[in-house]
Chain A
Amino acid sequence: MYSEDHGTLKKMIHIENISKDLGEFFLRDVTLDIKEGEYFVILGPTGAGKTILLESIAGIYRPDSGKILLDNSDITDVPPWERNIGMVYQDYTLFPFLTVAENIGFGLKSRKIGKGETRRKVDELANLLGVSHLSHRYPATLSGGEQQKVAIARAIAIEPRVLRLAPPLSALDSRTRDYLREELKRVKEEFGITMVHVTHDQTEALVLADRIAVMMQGRIMQVGTPNEIFNKPLNNDLADFVGVENIWGGIVRNNENGIVAIEVETGDTIFAVSEYQDGAVKVFLRPEEIILSEHKEDSSARNAIKGRINELQDIGPLTHIKLDVGLIAHITKQSRESIGLQKGNEVYAMFKETSVHVVRE
């Protein structure tokens, strides 16, 4: 039986070295394991090949090379209608000439399930997703959130082993999105369906995922838990993509019991947790990990870098602050107001050695 560090879940989808070239979009040697019952998110910028990967798993495209296994059997050449993998596209793709109820029942009709049974099941799903009052309406008359729910109900109706979602939430307003996030998690729990979700939205990935694969230019760059992906990116590009604003090149000067002192390119010394003894490294620090204070003694953080505030900018609930030493911090508006931060103030940027992530250059 298969087992690995991340939990004891069974390996369900195994993708081995698949490549596909569709011109503008492509996959290059993608290898990936998705486990039974997992909420797996494929995160990547637009055009990274995320949707082709989903479509290849569904059987819409046959990979040019490599193979795909579902429950240990090779499905590379199995057509989509025999795979039992549900699909929800970002633009919902509800059939415009069918009512909500007919859309939900579409897959049941293909499976030659009787009328009574179909009706019962459609009602049940419509209820579950809260769209039963819309049964007789046509998709064009529904809001984005409602269409989304109908698309999910339609995909679940065939009791798929895997449900694959292309960026479905990004188009919705934030309240509907939050609600649907909960809904997706609930659907996953209730039906025990393995979810594979594609998005470019980091918050979405962070909130939903058990595990995340980051995809760039047709390749899988890193697979890991949300914590690993966001706090321990493997390289510069990944760090940049997941919003690590502070990236320095540096040299390890010494290592005392796993705490390294790194001299970074700005001349400052940064302490971090690492096994490296010497040599060139990259140092990553998320902007949210930084606390700003006027006095050095205010915190137990080991790192304190002095700088002058160059720039203050509101970004949603946070304030983006840039210091003249090149450091970027995100702090809440509340703490900004409580210490009365202004442009030109001299402050200490403080952060723990455990917040700093170090990789070999």
Chain B
Amino acid sequence: MLNELKVSKIKIITILSSLLLAFFILVLITCVVTHTTLPALMTSLASKEIQFAIKLSLTTAAISTFLCIVISIPAAYALARYDFFGKSLINTLMDVPLALPPLVAGVGLLILFGTTSFGKGLAEMGLVFVFTPLGIIIAQFFVNVPFMFRILRGTFQGINPRYEHVAETLGCTEAQAFWRVTLPMSKNGLMAGSVITWSKGIGEFGAALMVAGATRMKTETLPISLYLNMSCGELNLAIASATILIVISLVTLFIFERYGGFARVF
């Protein structure tokens, strides 16, 4: 009896703290979305500035996600399948952007593309990253590529190489076996990786701010727009950006939970 009571106490305390935490999150979201009225929100959403921010965010995130996929597929495959010199060092380095504050990553990118001869060379070829939408893309790519990489590495590790072996005995070359067997078997991982990379790309602020700056109607993504409008008191426009970001986060979370079951980010 005594023991039961003891257990119940712990049960009550722990459940209460989880409820508290959930309530806190819910309150926060509700505060944002109810801060303005629906008509005001609709007007803001229809405004040129917000429209621009939505479009810029969607495109930059889509392009940076695509880049993450293209680079991560071969890189993650190599680290999942082969043993080679320096493998563990590479694995560690790939995690660095995860731990690095985005602002620091942004400073690095700014120096690389703004001051080095590499960056100047690219600029002469027409690829200007500093204070342009290209800078937003490279910032999103750098900060988010570890997510894609880690998910794909886990996915490839989870696929028994025997599937490729069988495909090879059935006449596929290594490349064909990868294309016809490994890639279709990685569908869920690719899906989960793309969704999380894309949604994190949409929300990317610190690194993008450093490289691309916060110029209205030029490098104004949704988070930049939120920041700009908040600082000059355009509360309705700021709330519109925030609401869209919340919706995107929730949808992403749902898709990720659904398809990302076996793909591990961390």
Contacts and interface: CB of A to CB of B under 8 A. Distances in A.
Interface of A: 55, 58-60, 79-81, 83, 85-87, 89, 91, 93, 95-97, 106-107, 110-111, 154-155, 158
A107 B181 contact: no
B173 A79 contact: yes
A20 B25 CA distance: 58
Contacts of B168: 59-60, 79-81
Interface string B169-206: 11111101000110011010000000000000000000
B113 to A, nearest CB: 41
Nearest to A80: B168
Contact of A60 (B165, B171, B181): B165
B18 interface: no
Contact residue range for chain B? 10 to 19
B170 A89 contact: no
B171 A111 contact: yes
Contacts of B167: 95, 106, 110
A85 B181 CA distance: 19
B79 to A, nearest CB: 19
The residue among A79, A91, A93 with the most chain B CB atoms within 10 A of its own CB is A93
B170 A110 contact: yes
Contact of B187 (A85, A91, A97, A154): A97
A154 B170 contact: yes
B169 A81 contact: yes
Nearest to B172: A110
B160 interface: yes
A97 B184 contact: yes
B250 interface: no
A83 B173 CA distance: 12
Contacts of A60: 165, 168-169
A79 B171 CA distance: 10
Main secondary structure of the interface of B (DSSP, over half): helix
A58 to B, nearest CB: 5
Nearest to B185: A97
Contact of A89 (B166, B171, B173, B184): B166
A58 B184 contact: no
A87 B169 contact: yes
B184 A81 contact: no
B187 A80 contact: no
Nearest to B165: A60
Q: Which 10 A-B pairs have the closest CB atoms?
A: A110-B171, A107-B170, A80-B168, A87-B169, A60-B165, A97-B184, A93-B162, A93-B166, A81-B171, A80-B169
Most buried by B among A86, A110, A111: A110
A95 B162 CA distance: 10
6 contacts: A79-B168, A79-B173, A81-B176, A96-B185, A97-B187, A158-B171
A87 B173 CA distance: 15
Contacts of A80: 165, 168-169
B234 to A, nearest CB: 50
A107 B176 CA distance: 12
A90 to B, nearest CB: 10
Nearest to B166: A93
B163 interface: yes
Given A91-B162, A93-B162, A93-B163, A158 B185 contact: no
B162 A89 contact: yes
Interface in B80-110: none
Given A81-B172, A158-B171, A87 B165 contact: yes
A86 B167 CA distance: 10
Given A93-B160, A97-B187, A154-B170, A110 B176 contact: yes
Contacts of A86: 169-170
B13 to A, nearest CB: 43
Contacts of B163: 93, 95
Contacts of A83: 169
A89 B164 CA distance: 12
A106 B181 CA distance: 10
A138 to B, nearest CB: 13
Residue among B167, B184, B187 with the highest chain A CB neighbour number at 10 A: B167
Interface in B135-179: 160, 162-163, 165-174, 176
A79 B181 CA distance: 18
Given A80-B168, A81-B168, A111-B171, 8 more contacts: A55-B165, A58-B169, A81-B169, A87-B166, A89-B162, A93-B165, A96-B185, A107-B171
Contacts of B171: 81, 107, 110-111, 158
Interface string B107-147: 00000000000000000000000000000000000000000
